[in-house]
Amino acid sequence: MTNVYSFDGILVFGLLFICTCAYLKKVPRLNSWLLSEKKGVWGVFYKAAVIGTRLHIAVAASCLVMAFYVIFLK
């Protein structure tokens, strides 16, 4: 179990958040509802979705490395 208050827990949370927002950007209803704001608190979802779509190869590689770390090394 990964603790959220440790450094690797924060990395896991960040990667899952970016992947989730990038996936929600592909759903039309959720894209217009959740990702329409580009500033403020709701803008974090939009920015995470942009990071997930533009850096999809790096995010996918980071997810694989983090999964290997959490499953086998921790």
pLDDT in tens, 5-19: 888 888 999 999 999
pLDDT in tens, 16-35: 999 999 998 898 887 888 88
> Mean pLDDT, the chain, as a whole number?
88
The pLDDT of residue 3 is 63
The pLDDT of residue 60 is 94
Residue 66 structure tokens: 């983090």
Calculate Rg over the CA atoms of the chain. Answer: 14
